A and B are shown apart, each in its own frame.
Chain A
Amino acid sequence: MILALVEHDKGTPEELSLEALAMARELATAEGDSLEAVAFGDEADALGDELGEYGVEAVHCVAHHHLERYAPDAWAESVVQLASEREAKTITAPGTDRGREVLARVGTSLDAPMATNCLAVDIADDGAYELRRNRWGGSLIEHARLDGEHKLLTAAEHEFPIEPAASPTEPSVSTFEPDVDDDLFAVQVDRVETGDEEGIPLGEARVVVGGGRGVGSAEDYDQLEELAELLGGTVGASRAAVNEGWRPHDDQVGQTGAKISPDIYIACGISGAVQHMVGCKGADTLLAINTDSEAAIVQKADWAVIGDLHEVVPELNEVLRDAA
């Protein structure tokens, strides 16, 4: 049996969990095995209908009086106990903070290897998994073998399509009560602080106007801000610009910052280092504005304007303003 950890918001599965479930289903189909899901939190029992569309045969809702707040060690121990009871040898999780840290803890309990950022998984003749996984934020691919009594995998972001199963199921929904010691609650969310977020989050914006070293100063981002506003988007920055102190780190697009997936990314004065490009490869289209026609970003863009952003952007803003 293949067991998939599913994160959800009051019974609605999260997108990255459905992607990981797609990976798990491929494995279940290839192995001729069944697919079951484990979920925590309020209204997990409402997951049955939707997960049935994705071929899940059973949904296990973990119930414990101390689990009203997230606790990674207790989650992991619950998954380990459930996997033992249901004889699951492969366990998958979404490529999220929680998915990865819970599965890594499952790995320590079961003394099992874990492959993260998986793109595709095949089964070798000897039962080992032959997989491809992202390295360097996806600018390199590793071909690897995952072998052991238990195998743990997380899915790379936005690589597995979310498609309903050819034959939907009507999953059984049951409650699983783990036996979890108090010391497994040493790490637990104490409280949640809501942010005073203004504007559109980078990860959700349809238009992102990015500025790099070529912008030249914090003040010069005003032009990019105006362009973003005219297009109903938001401003991003390269690591170089953040290091200069022109923008806060929250605006950073790249391997160690935000991963964006807008309809268009307008990259202004950005050279296009690998670490930046892995943050914006989810963009449908890319327009580069750069003085250097040889810049890497120009090679990777759909469209490019060779010129100074300090000339092009104000002019563009004026035209857009007049048209509005």
Chain B
Amino acid sequence: MKVLACIKRVPDTGAKIVLTEDEQRIDTSGLGFTMSPHEECAIEEAVAQVETHGGSAHVLTLGPPEADEQLRTGLAMQADEATLLETDEEEWSPRATADALADGIDRLDDEGFDLLLFGNESADAANYQVAVRVASELGYPCVTGIKDLEVEDGTAIAKREISGGEEVYEVDLPAVVTVKEGLNEPRYASMRAKMQARRQEIESVEPRAETRAGGLEKVRLEAPETDDSPAEILGEGSEAVPEIVEILAEEVEVV
């Protein structure tokens, strides 16, 4: 079985997000980069499915040259191959991203992938649509928001949480599945695996995307105002307990 995990490089934001002066992006000076937790689960699932069923696990991203760092994380988690659809720093719209990914997936492999995994939504833009659009372009079925996945005899059995339980889908492979954190526990890469991943070759491919008139276009970003009024300090240690009880009883009325 050939399994693909698609990921996105995003800033590893700390306790406060600071914007650049032109309000076009997050000021990443001093910040590291990562991928969404959903996507770590996508990589883990790709590798685990290949460990169970045989085959190969492939990691793909559309991003700047530096996104090879996230691809190497995938390789260190025991993915077999990694491909970068290399862009400049600019952000691509969800439609352009989906176009480029679908085209890239087509060119990556003649036989095609059996299972294509995405995060349910990206950590930053959260457009909730790239995977659905890619599936449509490739003509594959797509299930989203999955937290439980099994593959048996060419069928993906995928479960999504609903109020009071789970709804179960059974779709024939090849299929696109978007996953949520909680699907599995992503493995920690050993130091040795990280060292090996550093030496592995990453294929860099120029993306092709149809640019269409109209669409969704970012104008600028805004850091919403937060209430910075300091907390009322009730006290230190257990001496504050009477104050807590008063608040629970009088202000919040839960006792």
Interface residue ranges, A against B (CB under 8 Å) = 70, 72-73, 97, 100-101, 104-105, 107-108, 111, 113-117, 130, 132, 134-149, 154, 186-195, 197, 206-207, 230-233, 239, 249-250, 252, 255-257, 263-264, 271-275, 284-285, 287-288, 293, 296, 298-308, 311-312, 315-316, 319-320, 323
* In contact, A140 and B223 (Cβ under 8 angstroms): yes
* In contact, B126 and A117 (Cβ under 8 angstroms): yes
Cβ of A195: which chain B residues have Cβ within 8 Å of it? Answer: 164-166
Cα-based distance from A307 to B240 in the complex (angstroms): 9
Cβ of A300: which chain B residues have Cβ within 8 Å of it? Answer: 226-227, 231
The residue of chain B having its C-beta at the shortest distance from the C-beta of A324 within the complex is B255
Let me know if B228 is at the binding interface, CB within 8 A: yes
Let me know if B59 is at the binding interface, CB within 8 A: no
Cβ of A104: which chain B residues have Cβ within 8 Å of it? Answer: 128-129, 132-133
Let me know if B248 is at the binding interface, CB within 8 A: yes
* In contact, A189 and B254 (Cβ under 8 angstroms): no
* In contact, B133 and A97 (Cβ under 8 angstroms): no
Let me know if B123 is at the binding interface, CB within 8 A: yes
* In contact, B182 and A303 (Cβ under 8 angstroms): no
Cα-based distance from A10 to B144 in the complex (angstroms): 24
* In contact, A140 and B216 (Cβ under 8 angstroms): no
* In contact, A116 and B129 (Cβ under 8 angstroms): yes
Cβ of A316: which chain B residues have Cβ within 8 Å of it? Answer: 238, 241, 244-245
Q: How many whole Å from B225's CB to the nearest CB in chain A?
A: 10
Let me know if B17 is at the binding interface, CB within 8 A: yes
Closest 5 CB pairs of A and B: A249-B182, A307-B237, A108-B136, A296-B15, A148-B214
Dominant SS at the A interface? mixed
Interface residue ranges, B against A (CB under 8 Å) = 13-17, 19, 26, 36-38, 93-95, 123-129, 132-133, 136-137, 141-145, 159-160, 162, 164-172, 180-182, 212, 214-224, 226-228, 230-238, 240-245, 247-248, 251-255
* In contact, A256 and B144 (Cβ under 8 angstroms): no
* In contact, B248 and A256 (Cβ under 8 angstroms): no
Known: A108-B132, A274-B17. A287 touches B254 (CB 8 A): no
Q: How many whole Å from B178's CB to the nearest CB in chain A?
A: 9
* In contact, A101 and B132 (Cβ under 8 angstroms): yes
Cβ of A239: which chain B residues have Cβ within 8 Å of it? Answer: 37
Known: A116-B129, A140-B224, A274-B17. A187 touches B165 (CB 8 A): no
Cβ of A206: which chain B residues have Cβ within 8 Å of it? Answer: 254
* In contact, B172 and A189 (Cβ under 8 angstroms): no
The residue of chain A having its C-beta at the shortest distance from the C-beta of B38 within the complex is A256
- 24 CB contacts below 8 A, A to B, read A100-B129, A101-B132, A104-B132, A108-B132, A113-B214, A114-B216, A139-B13, A143-B220, A187-B141, A187-B142, A189-B169, A195-B165, A195-B166, A252-B182, A256-B36, A256-B37, A274-B14, A299-B231, A300-B226, A303-B234, A303-B244, A311-B237, A312-B240, A316-B238
* In contact, A312 and B237 (Cβ under 8 angstroms): yes
Q: Contacts A141-B224, A305-B233 given; 5 further ones with Cβ under 8 A?
A: A138-B224, A186-B141, A207-B254, A305-B240, A319-B241
Cα-based distance from A186 to B16 in the complex (angstroms): 44
Cβ of A117: which chain B residues have Cβ within 8 Å of it? Answer: 126
Cβ of A154: which chain B residues have Cβ within 8 Å of it? Answer: 128
Cβ of A111: which chain B residues have Cβ within 8 Å of it? Answer: 212
Which residue of the partner chain, among A145, A256, A285, A304, contacts B180 with CB atoms under 8 Å? A256
Which residue of the partner chain, among B36, B162, B255, contacts A231 with CB atoms under 8 Å? B255
* In contact, A299 and B228 (Cβ under 8 angstroms): yes
Q: How many whole Å from B248's CB to the nearest CB in chain A?
A: 7
The residue of chain A having its C-beta at the shortest distance from the C-beta of B251 within the complex is A285
The residue of chain A having its C-beta at the shortest distance from the C-beta of B132 within the complex is A104
Which residue of the partner chain, among B95, B165, B232, contacts A194 with CB atoms under 8 Å? B165
* In contact, A274 and B171 (Cβ under 8 angstroms): no
Cα-based distance from A250 to B148 in the complex (angstroms): 13
Cα-based distance from A273 to B31 in the complex (angstroms): 14
Cβ of B93: which chain A residues have Cβ within 8 Å of it? Answer: 113
Cβ of A140: which chain B residues have Cβ within 8 Å of it? Answer: 17, 19, 26, 124, 221-224
